[in-house]
A and B are shown apart, each in its own frame.
Chain A
């Protein structure tokens, strides 16, 4: 992909230059080479930085003078904050020690939400989390965190691993359950957490591209019959865009909810 096309891609990621049907390669959008390395600075990296700055500025502006009687901006921020604080952190971790994790879960939720919504916001139109590096990074933090919290709670590695087993099992089944629990805790959980977010964003965006860019390709044939088919394709694309917005919210919620649930499980007295 040439530099000019990359520059075009910054604004209009799915412009004419794209080939149809879209491939996973469409998500590879390098902007420029990082000096001194073989690596490139990619468009999703720019988007994730923009999302962090936008969120930080918005949150800082609305809570700078946090008042007892909230203003309009503070009220909106509080709604989101309450959702993460009470709906995710408190429900999943319990009211005893959820406050420790509220900053993390709140940051996680709004961060993923905005990055997901980039998939339908005009001008961005690329969900950052469709590049698997970002979900893996977030998952690594969650992974390290819940194991660390569990270890601290149990006291020793042996006690922590022993605590994974449900109590009251007959002796002969214990090794099997232990094996399953170990797989769940150390492999399945992080894997699904990262892949779920990635897969939803990736597949959802691909779907939108198929309908919208596909409609454009049909339109450009200048064949009246195919042009007529382009219209329902776009209508469906618009409907799917609304559906995608819902999925994007849901995935941000699910990611934060599962992170909170893992943390809560690590903190629980027994399994």
Chain B
């Protein structure tokens, strides 16, 4: 088997943000299901949380690029 360990590293690093994003949207769906009129207020907050959690995955991708191409 050939390949690069950095690829595996990125795959592992994506687990955390994936769970985080899942939790954020689960909470968002719960909130909207309970109070549909609060959707307008919750949506930007959910998207912001999603963006912040996603940033970690993006960091992982960037580090992967650096390690894979440069290192």
| Chain A interface residues toward B at CB < 8 A | 24, 87, 91-92, 188, 192, 195-196, 199-200, 203, 250, 253-254, 257-258, 261
Name the distance in Å between B8's Cβ and chain A's nearest Cβ. Answer: 16
| Chain B interface residues toward A at CB < 8 A | 44, 47-48, 50-52, 54-55, 57-59, 61-62, 65, 69
B47 near A192: Cβ-Cβ < 8 Å: no
Question: How far does the alpha carbon of A261 sit from the alpha carbon of B45 in the complex, in Å?
Answer: 10
Residues of A within 8 A of B58 (CB): 192, 195-196, 199-200
**Pick the contact of A258 from B48, B59, B62, B69 — CB < 8 Å?**
B48
Question: How far does the alpha carbon of A270 sit from the alpha carbon of B47 in the complex, in Å?
Answer: 23
A-B residue pair count with CB separations less than 8 angstroms: 39
Name the distance in Å between B59's Cβ and chain A's nearest Cβ. Answer: 7
B51 near A254: Cβ-Cβ < 8 Å: yes
A253 near B47: Cβ-Cβ < 8 Å: yes
Check A254/B62 contact, CB under 8 A, given A192-B55, A196-B54. Answer: no
Name the distance in Å between A116's Cβ and chain B's nearest Cβ. Answer: 15
B59 near A257: Cβ-Cβ < 8 Å: no
B48 near A199: Cβ-Cβ < 8 Å: no
Check A257/B61 contact, CB under 8 A, given A192-B55, A196-B54, A196-B55. Answer: no
A254 near B47: Cβ-Cβ < 8 Å: yes
Question: How far does the alpha carbon of A188 sit from the alpha carbon of B56 in the complex, in Å?
Answer: 11
Residues of B within 8 A of A24 (CB): 65, 69
Check A257/B62 contact, CB under 8 A, given A91-B44, A92-B44. Answer: no
A199 near B47: Cβ-Cβ < 8 Å: no
**Pick the contact of A195 from B47, B50, B62 — CB < 8 Å?**
B62
Which residue from chain B places its CB closest to the CB of A196 in the assembled complex?
A: B58
Residues of B within 8 A of A87 (CB): 44
B59 near A195: Cβ-Cβ < 8 Å: yes
